Amino acid sequence: MVGILESAILTIKSLTDEEKPQPLHVGEVMACWIYLAGLEIAKATVQAGINTTNDEDLKEMLKEDLELNHGQRERLYNFMLNEGITLPPAHEDMPNSDPNSIPLGVKLTDDVLANELSFKIVSLILRAAGANAESIRTDFGLMFLQFHAEKVMLGVKLKQLMMKRGWIKIPPFFISPGSPPTLTNA
């Protein structure tokens, strides 16, 4: 099995070996398109979430996600243009609104907003990891590795907020038959 140090050396070596990048393969192109489409959809829903919540901590998390998405969108957009890849449709920005003017029954709760944001982050983490794993080109792989790491860091912060507020959804614990008693099943 290849060790962590050997993997790092091979990665750095591949950066210096790649003189002229090869064309992207169809999987890499599709990964770009799907990830950018995901960022575009997230932009609209995160902006709507900012307009919906009165919770300042959640609003800051949504704004941080929006800023991160904007940076990733710009990098990926430029990469795709340079590679000649057709871009997915972009959504218009949501206008600012007062959270208190949204009627009950339409307004999403902070719990729902936080879990929806968590789902979006997890979805993009998985997309970035898959794109990196399928990559042949080093520049492409490193870009998606960076996207992955950025989303993981944001996800950790969101999980802490969700745990603090009691918003996190935890599936039931699995206790196999015959297992010794623990605090959870005692």
Structural domains of the chain sorted by starting position, each given as residue range(s) with its CATH number in brackets: 23-165 (1.20.1260.10)
What's the pLDDT band for 12 if we cut at 50, 70, 90? Answer: low
Residue with the larger pLDDT of the pair 170 and 8:
170
Q: Which of 50, 51, 28, 47 is nearest to 39 (CA)?
A: 47
pLDDT tens-digit readout, 96-146: 999 999 998 889 999 999 999 999 999 999 999 999 999 999 899 999 999
pLDDT of residue 178: 83
pLDDT of residue 1: 43
SS (H, E, C) the chain: CCCHHHHHHHHHHHHHHCCCCCCCCHHHHHHHHHHHHHHHHHHHHHHHHHHHCCCHHHHHHHHHHHHHHHHHHHHHHHHHHHHCCCCCCCCCCCCCCCHHHCCCCCCCCHHHHHHHHHHHHHHHHHHHHHHHHHCCCHHHHHHHHHHHHHHHHHHHHHHHHHHHHCCCCCCCCCCCCCCCCCCCCC
**137 and 31 in contact (C-beta within 8 Å)?**
no
pLDDT in tens, 166-182: 999 888 988 888 888 76
Question: Per-residue confidence at 61, pLDDT binned at 50, 70, 90?
Answer: very high
**pTM given for the model:** 0.83
